[in-house]
Amino acid sequence: MSHWLSKEDPVYYKRALKGLVAEAEENGLEVFAKSSIEGTMLYFRDSMGECAGVKIELREGRP
């Protein structure tokens, strides 16, 4: 039985994101999120304090 997921399947993106977070942590990065009324920021920080993040915007009518 194949467990292949298409890019139209939301589980595909959940697994991809989970894999990226795990990989970042395995490579010594701290991964954390901060939420506000505008959305959520997902951050990746290294041991020197350098940080990069991505904003996941809150959209009206979506959970």
HSE (side-chain half, CA atoms, 13 Å) at 13: 4
pLDDT, average across residues 39-61: 94
Domain ranges of the chain: 28-63
- State the average pLDDT for the chain: 93
pTM, full prediction: 0.80
Helix (H/G/I), strand (E/B), else coil: 34 = strand
pLDDT, one tens digit per residue, over 12-42 is: 999 999 999 999 999 999 999 999 989 999 9
For residue 63, what pLDDT band results from cuts at 50, 70 and 90? low
Write down the pLDDT at residue 1.
44
Are 11 and 25 spatial neighbours (Cβ–Cβ below 8 Å)?
A: no
